[in-house]
């Protein structure tokens, strides 16, 4: 069995519609690494993520997460594996009419055993740890504010705190900053990197532009048309490699050149700053 937290071997996925979303993807991620996966819309990022927690099954290949063979796991094994896999996505998924802390509490393992109503219905240690997690994401002052009154960036930070309640070993974040402004995006990335380091948490985050990946990730994997076309440390990534990711195949509504040019400008600005 593999030492890697994530071990994807020759994974291919063709949907019933005939779309080949993933082509022979192999990747290994060790414990505690913060990895960004970049690629245009439609390049297969979400499909890959969904294979990692068993929401989609492969056409061929193998998916191992935390030593569980996800694509042949029983329902029970999958449930057990998912307890250790946090999931963060673009739309935050908070319940708007309850407070931030109640949302965070709903992520605690105890809440799997039945619905709870109000902060007081959770054990004290859960309440303490919910507050601690809110503090880690810089949201302790907003604990008792209704979630639907928070900004997008604040909501995403609460969603991260909620996910941390389950003490995950892997955090999958699918476009967590796609609807956020640049400053909130950077905050979210900083938090993900920090928790990755503090807790040896393996983080895989998808982004469709490269700037944030260059700034925060330890490793960048580029997908193009379902294939891995780049896998390197940010320091080693240059113009040519960025172009690899953004060239060619793209849906008509995506301005590939603009994205590639923007990414290259960001890359050069970062290299000049260093
Ligand atoms: N359930 C599905 N059925 C058919 N095609 C799908 C399905 N999910 C995704 N696809 C297709 O697979 C490709 C990759 O999609 P996706 O993984 O969502 O890309 P990304 O997250 O990089 O934008 C796209 O062409 C998309 O239309
Ligand atoms: Mg996606």
For 54-97, the DSSP string reads TSS--SEEEEEETTEEGGG--HHHHHHHHTTEEEEETT----TT
What's the angle, vertex CA 253, arms to CA 250 and CA 256, rounded to 5? 50
Residue 223 in tokens:
């997908």
Query: Which pLDDT score, from 0 to 100, does residue 109 have?
Result: 67
Q: Contact at 8 Å (CB) between 26 and 9?
A: yes
Which ligand gives the minimal distance to the CA of 45?
1
How many angstroms separate the alpha carbon of residue 17 from the centre of ligand 1?
10
How far apart CA 168 and CA 108 sit, in angstroms, is 11
Q: Among 12, 21, 23, name the best residue to mutate to test ligand 1's pocket (greatest count of ligand atoms within 8 A of Cβ).
A: 21
User: Per residue in 179-234, pLDDT tens?
Assistant: 999 999 999 999 999 999 999 999 999 998 788 898 899 999 999 999 999 999 98
Neighbours of 138 (CB within 10 A): 15
pLDDT tens across 5-30, in order? Answer: 999 999 999 999 999 999 999 999 99
Q: Which residues contact 253 (CB under 8 A, 6 or more apart)?
A: none
Residue owning tokens 């990534």: 237
Residue 46 near ligand 1, beta carbon < 6 Å: yes
**For residues 83-107, average pLDDT:** 92
Task: Compute φ and ψ for 251, nearest 5 degrees.
Answer: -60, 155
Residue 252 scores a pLDDT above 80 = no
Pick the residue whose CA is nearest to atom 16 on ligand 1: 44
Q: How many other CB atoms sit within 10 Å of the CB of residue 83?
A: 15
Nearest CA to ligand 1 atom 1: 15
**Average confidence score pLDDT of the chain:** 90
From the CB of 21, is ligand 1 less than 6 Å away? yes
pLDDT per residue as tens digits for the range 47-56: 999 999 999 9
CA distances 99 to 89, 95, 148, 214, 273, Å, are 19, 8, 8, 34, 41
Nearest CA to ligand 1 atom 25: 42
- Atom number, ligand 1, closest to the C-alpha of residue 44: 17
Query: How many Å lie between the centroid of ligand 1 and the Cα of residue 270?
Result: 32
CA of 140 to the centre of ligand 2 (A): 30
Query: 114-157 pLDDT, tens per residue?
Result: 556 778 888 899 999 999 999 999 999 999 999 999 999 999 99
Tell me if 176 CB under 6 Å of ligand 1. Answer: no
Which ligand approaches the C-alpha of residue 175 most closely? 2
């Amino acid at each position: 069995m593999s030492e890697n937290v994530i071990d994807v071997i020759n994974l291919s996925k063709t949907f019933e519609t005939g779309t080949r979303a993933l082509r022979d993807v192999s990747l290994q991620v060790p414990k505690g690494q913060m990895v960004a996966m970049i690629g245009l819309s439609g390049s297969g990022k979400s499909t890959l993520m969904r294979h990692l927690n068993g929401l989609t099954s492969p056409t061929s290949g193998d998916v191992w997460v935390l030593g569980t063979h996800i694509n042949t796991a029983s329902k029970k094994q999958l449930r057990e594996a998912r307890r250790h896999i946090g999931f963060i996505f673009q739309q935050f998924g908070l319940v708007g009419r309850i407070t931030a802390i109640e949302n965070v509490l709903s992520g605690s393992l105890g809440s799997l055993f039945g619905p709870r109503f109000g902060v007081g219905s959770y054990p004290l240690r859960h309440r303490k740890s919910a507050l601690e997690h809110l503090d880690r994401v810089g949201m302790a002052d907003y604990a008792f504010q209704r979630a639907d009154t928070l900004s997008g960036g604040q909501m995403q930070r609460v969603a991260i705190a909620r996910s941390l309640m389950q003490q995950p070993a892997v955090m999958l974040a699918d476009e967590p900053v796609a609807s956020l402004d640049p400053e909130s995006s950077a905050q979210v990335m900083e938090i993900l990197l920090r928790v990755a380091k503090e807790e040896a948490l393996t983080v895989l985050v998808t982004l469709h532009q490269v700037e944030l990946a260059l700034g925060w990730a330890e490793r960048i994997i580029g997908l193009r048309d379902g294939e891995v076309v780049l896998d390197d440390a940010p320091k080693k990534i240059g113009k040519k490699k960025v172009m690899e990711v953004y060239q060619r195949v793209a849906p008509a509504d995506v301005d590939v050149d603009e994205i590639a040019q923007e990414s290259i400008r960001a890359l050069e600005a970062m290299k000049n700053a260093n």
